[in-house]
A and B are shown apart, each in its own frame.
Chain A
C-alpha cells in the first residue's frame, strides 16, 4: 500500500468534497449558532437560483399561453408540447383518465421547476445545481408526501388508507404480523426519502465529479512533472464529455422525480385490494 501511494503523491492538492457546496452568503456575513452548528444569515446563491427558476418557468409559460390562438405560433406551440408531455405521459397514463386533471398543475410545475434548477448546473456563470443542497430537495419530497397522503386519506378515509398502505395483498396468517410494519415503513417512510435522496445524490455526485476533473486537470497541468502534463488535458476532455452526460442525468432525474410522484398519487387513489 505504501509503495503505491508514495509514487503518486500529490502535495498541495486538496480534493474537492461536499464542503465545497456550502456557498457563502451574498452581503454581510452574519452567523448564528443553532444545534451546535454555525449557520449564515443572508441570501446565498442557491436561494437566488430558486427564485430565478420560478420566475423563468412562470414567465415562459405565461408568455406562451397569453394569446391562445387557435393556430398556434412557435412559442405557443412549444409551450403546448411541453405541457402536453407532462399532462399525457405522466398525468393521464399513470393516474388514469378519471381524476388526473386535479394533479396536472402540480406535476407540470414541479417538472419544469426541477428541470430548470438542474440545468443551472450546466449554464455558464451559474454552474451550480440547486438540488445539490439537500434541504431544498427534502422540502420538495415533504410536499409530495403530504400531497399523496392527503389524497389517499380523502379517498379511503384515515383507517381505510392505513389499511390500504400497510396490508399487502394476498397474505394471510401470522406472517402478516411481520409484514405489516415492513409495508407501512416501505410506503410511508422509505418513499419520500428515496425520492429526495435519488435527486440529491445524483446532482451532488455529478457536480462533484465535474469539480474533480476541472481542479485535478488544472493541478496536473500546472504543477506536475512534464511527462504527466498531458493527463491534465485528458482530464479536461473528460470534463467536457461528462458535462454532456450530466445534461442527460439532469433531464432524467427531473423526469423520474415527477413520474414517481404520479405513481405514488395513483397508488394512493387507486381502488385495488
Chain B
C-alpha cells in the first residue's frame, strides 16, 4: 500500500477540529436564534472559538507536510 503515514495522521487529526467548529457554530446559531440583538457580541466570541479550534487543524496540516 503506497502513501504516506503523515496523511493518515492528518486525516485523523482533522476529526477533532471539524467536530469542534461544528459545535461552536451550532451554539452561535441557537444563541442568535433566541436573541437576535446579541448577534454582534456573540459573533466575536464565536470567531475566537473558531480560531482556537482551527489552530489545531492548521498545525496538523503544516506538520503533516514538514515532518
In Å, the complex CA distance between A60 and B50 comes to: 41
Q: Kindly state whether residue B19 has any CB partner on chain A within 8 Å.
A: no
Q: Kindly state whether residue A171 has any CB partner on chain B within 8 Å.
A: no
| Total count of chain B residues near the partner, CB < 8 A | 1
Select from chain A the residue with minimum beta-carbon distance to B1. A5
Select from chain B the residue with minimum beta-carbon distance to A1. B1
B residues with a Cβ closer than 8 A to A are 1
**Can you show 3 pairs from A to B with CB atoms below 8 A apart?**
A1-B1, A4-B1, A5-B1
Return B61 CB to nearest CB of chain A, in Å. 12
A4 — which chain B residues lie within 8 A by C-beta?
Answer: 1
In Å, the complex CA distance between A4 and B1 comes to: 10
In Å, the complex CA distance between A1 and B8 comes to: 14
Return B17 CB to nearest CB of chain A, in Å. 17
The 3 closest A-B pairs by CB, nearest first: A5-B1, A1-B1, A4-B1
Select from chain B the residue with minimum beta-carbon distance to A2. B1
A5 — which chain B residues lie within 8 A by C-beta?
Answer: 1
A1 — which chain B residues lie within 8 A by C-beta?
Answer: 1
Return A128 CB to nearest CB of chain B, in Å. 27
In Å, the complex CA distance between A5 and B1 comes to: 7
B1 — which chain A residues lie within 8 A by C-beta?
Answer: 1, 4-5
Return A272 CB to nearest CB of chain B, in Å. 15
Return B45 CB to nearest CB of chain A, in Å. 17
In Å, the complex CA distance between A234 and B1 comes to: 24
Interface residues of A in 1-21 (CB under 8 A from B): 1, 4-5
Q: What sequence of 0s and 1s flags, for each residue 188-230 of chain A, a beta carbon within 8 Å of any chain B beta carbon?
A: 0000000000000000000000000000000000000000000
Return B65 CB to nearest CB of chain A, in Å. 14
Return B31 CB to nearest CB of chain A, in Å. 22
Return B44 CB to nearest CB of chain A, in Å. 13
Return B64 CB to nearest CB of chain A, in Å. 16
Select from chain B the residue with minimum beta-carbon distance to A4. B1
Return A52 CB to nearest CB of chain B, in Å. 36
Return A4 CB to nearest CB of chain B, in Å. 8
